[in-house]
Structure 1
Amino acid sequence: MRQDIAEHMDVIGADGVHVGTVDRVEEHRIKLTRRDSGEGDHKGHHHYVPIGLVAEVEGQTVRLSANADVAVSMEEEEDGSPA
């Protein structure tokens, strides 16, 4: 499944809510584009979603096994610390 994930795919939660856009896959996580980085201290840099949250890849969409609010709470910074 990891090999099916490509740049610019939409990442959505199990509830259908947009979580981000794939920048690229790095090892065990998906790097999201900067424009999906949130607000305040989180704005302007990349966040990462664990690859283990991917339920399926369909067309140009990566669907996660968790709802968007849960997935966002599991995002990581570049160094692996919580976002």
Structure 2
Amino acid sequence: MSSEKIIPKMEVIGADGVHVGTVDAVVDGRIKLAKYDSGEGPHKGHNHFIDLGLVAEVEGQKVRLSAIAAVAVTFEEEKSGKSV
């Protein structure tokens, strides 16, 4: 997957079409998700990252992942690379 097609403000969705987050940027082979649209509880309000390897395709203004949303969020990482 070419990361040049992925731009800020695109919606990230799971393979099932369910919203996962909003692209803030692509950094070091990972999609950085926007803070305002990130996590619940102690994970709310800071950036999470999704590896570009999970991207199945870019459809218009949406980035579709290869995993359903419920599974995709389990692959989210902190800036450090640690799992959320």
- Tell me the TM-score range normalised by the shorter chain: over 0.9
Counting matched residue pairs gives: 83
SS where residue 22 of structure 2 aligns? strand
Structure 1 residue ranges without an equivalent (≥5): none
Alignment of 1:1-83 (within 5 A): 1-83=2-84
Q: Cα deviations across residues 4-36 of structure 1 (Å, max 9, x unaligned)?
A: 000000000000000000000001110000122
Distance 1:53 1:20 in 2: 14
**TM-score normalised by L of structure 1:** 0.96
Distance 1:78 1:67 in 2: 22
Distance 2:58 2:40 in 1: 27
Distance 2:56 2:40 in 1: 27
**TM-score normalised by L of structure 2:** 0.95
Spell out structure 1 runs of 4+ moving beyond 3 A: none
RMSD: 0.7
Q: How far 1:39 sits from its partner (Å)?
A: 1.5
**Identity rate, percent:** 63
